[in-house]
Amino acid sequence: MDERELPGSDPTPESVSGPPYPEDFAPDPDWDAYLAWREREIAAGRCEAPPEPWEIEGPAISLSLGDAADIDPLLLAAICGPDGLGGDGLGPQFGQDAAADMLRPSSVLAALTEQASADLSRLTDNQLLGVLHAARRLENRAHYLQTRVIAEFARRRDEEFETAKARGVRAGCRAGEFPGVELASELLISRLEAGRRIDSAISLTTRLPRSLQGMSDGLIDAERAGIIAAYTACLTPEDAAKADEILAQAAPDVRADTLARRAAALEMKLDPEAARTRKESTKRAAQRVEVQLERSGNASVAGRELDIADALASKANIHSTALRLRRGGVEGSLDHLRVKVFNDLLQGRNPFDRLAPVPEAPADDREPPDDPTHEVDKEPTENTVAVNDPGSPDAPVPEDPADDWDCADDPAADGLAEDLHEYEYRGGRAGPRGHGDAAIGIWPRSGDHPSSDEDPDNEDDGATWSSPADDAVPARAPTPAVINLLVHAGTLFGWDTTPSEASGWGLLNPVETRDIVRAASRHPQTRWCVTLTGPDGTAVAHGCSPGQHPWSPVAPPDREESPPPDQPNTRQAEQFFELVRALNVTLEPIARGTCDHRHAEDHYTPSRKLQHLVRARNATCTAPGCQAQAIYADLDHTTPYPEGSTDECNLGPKCRTHHRAKQAPGWKVEQPEPGVFRWTLPSGRSHITRPATY
């Protein structure tokens, strides 16, 4: 900000009271001559008179910063006063209701906020939170800008699409056909999320002017705007405008979940039929079971977009069963018992088998809940169990979304899983890296040419399997899988001489890994592969083991005896080496950098070996931001066959969506070196994706 441009900023107005010229400014005879000439010309009518000083000072050409950005005079004084931007004058302006606290988002507020946050220690609590609010208003304004950009982007693609359609271009080849896929790759978000942002942006810019204005003013954030857009999507433009008026007004002052409830109620009131349609169509389009990795490294299973009645009945059943287990003496918190019941039911076990002698179930399940002082507005907390006990399936279920069982605040639960398969079975690679040398990833089998719609677990070959008899817990159902044993190169080559380096299973939770691998290895369709990873964690070689290798640890270690990851355990190392040897694998190098075409094949469909080499190298779809696992993805010839070869340097996994998008106008994929892909999107921007890092 330039102080010289600010009116009244000069505390010592020398230019008015001082001498006509500064001392070092000598009178200029040429200038005087010019002025004399000009006066003569004007007098002779040959030149227009110059404007008088008062004419140039009119409001038409002087714009004060205060006018431009609603700046309060006091705030201006604080900025421009003797303390200036670096002084102590600014902090108080962020106090509640002070000038900066009231300032709408603009470049001025951005500059002030940056300045005020340069040294947070100088701010009082009140001022500190004022800076927080200012940053939020700026953020909301930034979302407003994004919303307008996304809407314009979508409008352009839509125009291209309609033009192509009108010209009779067939589906799949029309320009502008995949705006969501393109946006997802650009922003590295899921397609579901990209689609939602586009829908939301179009609604906000075309039929929700009040909400859009609220974002522009920094008062409504992206989440609340998204809620308003979602709940008005099925309303007529007139009803949407009414809802917009009401909800935009309420949005800045209520929590997002409260706004969602109000929006739902309003939608129901304005157009009950539309509300029902929205629910039904979402259920049809998005009902699914999600298996996801949690950020902690654990996993979750969830049924999404279920009937409310179904969800409540399941909840009540799980809860009452857990209560009966507890009364029967099964240990653990109610949370843990409910999870046990949940897993038992999903995996076809009877939860009551957990009770030693099966007790007669009492007719009445009602029992005091853990915390009888359940409060309606209680915030969910991490470790306390505050169950509003439904008691029996017939008992009324609380409406309070803050019920700790409803996990309404889980951001990860929202819209991440565009594809059930994307997050599945990644547990083997979930552990933090760098604590060990070997890991196991499991690729579920689904045939040689799996489609992304296939669910390998639906395969029922009628095979029988034996579960470990010595297991205290009910056996896990074995899963047919390709067990991909990841071995770090250093470990393998250094093994014989320094077995102590091999912390074996240390990278993963050893017990979990054993359980999963042991169960999977018993399935007759399961096969083993070994992927060798280099120093950078990418795959350098891969080998497929022939035949079946049912595996169980020689002596399952005591859970208590698991050594810390930094301590060598010779027995584990030996056992691991035994396994690798037993698999009898011939490792094939994976082409990197350049390709010597040693694995090139003279037919269209790559062999199983070549498929594995490519999928070991690129473990997910190669499109930017796509997480679809390679095992479910098509192996695509980057340059179409037969001009392009069936070879490591010309193959890469692409999920069905990106395979289709790639064929549309404006999309281009190149493979400048094996495993490195350059995707050019219809916008002309390009993004590079690289081999997987394990």
Interface positions with Zn ion (CB under 5 A):
529, 544, 595, 597, 612, 621, 623, 626, 628, 647, 649, 655, 658
Q: Which is nearer to Zn ion, 266 or 626 (CB)?
A: 626
Measured distance CA(510)–CA(506) in Å, rounded: 6
Kindly give the residue spans of alpha helices, DSSP state H, lying in 167-271.
179-187, 191-207, 209-216, 222-232, 237-250, 256-270
Q: How many Cβ atoms sit within 10 Å of the Cβ of residue 484?
A: 26
Cα–Cα dist 658/655, whole Å:
5
Least distance to Zn ion from the beta carbon of 61, Å?
Answer: 56
Nearer to Zn ion, 94 or 425 (CB): 425
Q: Which is nearer to Zn ion, 189 or 227 (CB)?
A: 189
> For Zn ion, which is the closer residue by CB, 338 or 659?
659
Which residue's CB is nearer to Zn ion, number 231 or number 679?
679
Rounded Cα gap, residues 326 and 247, in angstroms: 45
Shortest Å, Cβ 594 to Zn ion? 8
Which C-beta is closer to Zn ion: that of 225 or that of 628?
A: 628
Strand 527-533, strand 481-488: pairing: parallel
Residue with Cβ nearer Zn ion (94 or 551): 551
Burial of 315 (0-12, 13-18, 19+ CB in 10 A): middle
In the complex, what is the shortest distance from the CB of residue 205 to Zn ion, in angstroms, rounded to a whole number?
28
Closest CB to Zn ion among residues 330, 692: 692
Q: Could you tell me which of 190, 192, 266 has the C-alpha nearest to residue 227?
A: 266
Question: At its nearest, how many Å lie between Zn ion and the CB of residue 655?
Answer: 3
Supply 298's token pair: 């654990």
* E strand or H helix at 46: none
Contact (CB, 8 A) for 478 and 522: yes
DSSP states of 624-668: TT---BGGGSEEEESSPTTTS-BSGGGEEEE-HHHHHHHHSTT-E
Q: How far is the CB of 568 from Zn ion (least distance, A)?
A: 29
Q: Which is nearer to Zn ion, 101 or 647 (CB)?
A: 647
Closer to Zn ion by CB, 544 or 610: give it: 544
**d(Cα 226, Cα 233) in Å, to the nearest integer?**
10
Q: Are strands 651-654 and 634-637 parallel, antiparallel or unpaired?
A: antiparallel
Residue 173 C-beta: closest distance to Zn ion, Å: 19
Angle (CA) 340-343-344 rounded to 5° is 80
The separation between CA 181 and the C-alpha centre of its own chain, rounded to angstroms, equals 15
Give the span between the Cα atoms of 684 and 679, in whole angstroms. Answer: 10
Question: At closest approach, how far in Å is the CB of 693 from Zn ion?
Answer: 18
Whole-angstrom Cα distance, residue 613 to residue 540?
A: 9
**CB closer to Zn ion out of 502 and 616:** 616
CA 381/CA 407 separation, integer angstroms? 10
Distance CA 517, CA 523 (A): 10
CA distances from 60 to 56, 245, 390, 615 (A): 9, 36, 70, 67
Who contacts 348 (Cβ-Cβ below 8 Å, separation ≥6)? 477
Q: At closest approach, how far in Å is the CB of 526 from Zn ion?
A: 12
Which CB, 239 or 422, lies closer to Zn ion? 422
To Zn ion, the closest distance from the beta carbon of 600 in angstroms equals 6
Pairing verdict, β 481-488 and 438-444: antiparallel
For the bound state, the minimum distance from the C-beta of residue 671 to Zn ion, rounded and expressed in Å, comes to: 10
Q: How far is the CB of 614 from Zn ion (least distance, A)?
A: 11
Q: Is 187 left (phi over 0), alpha (psi -120 to 50) or beta?
A: alpha
In this complex, which beta carbon is closest to Zn ion, that of residue 514 or of residue 612? 612
In three state form, how does the secondary structure of 477-529 look?
A: CCCCEEEEEEEEHHHHHHCCCCHHHCCHHHHCCHHHHHHHHHHHHCCCCCEEE
- DSSP line for 422-487: GGTT-GGG-SPTTS-SEEEEEEE---SS--TT--GGG----------TT-SSPPPPP--EEEEEEE
HSE-up of residue 337 (Cα within 13 Å, Cβ side): 23
- Nearest by Cα to 683 from 660, 658, 665: 665
CB of 484 to Zn ion, least distance (A): 7
Smallest gap, in angstroms, from Cβ of residue 517 to Zn ion?
16
Distance, CA of 653 to CA of 606 (rounded, Å):
12
CB-nearer residue toward Zn ion: 75 or 655 = 655
Smallest separation, CB 621 to Zn ion (Å): 3
- The smaller minimum CB distance to Zn ion, of residues 226 and 674, is found at 674
Question: Distance between CA 401 and CA 275 in Å, rounded?
Answer: 20
Closest distance of CB 654 from Zn ion, Å:
6
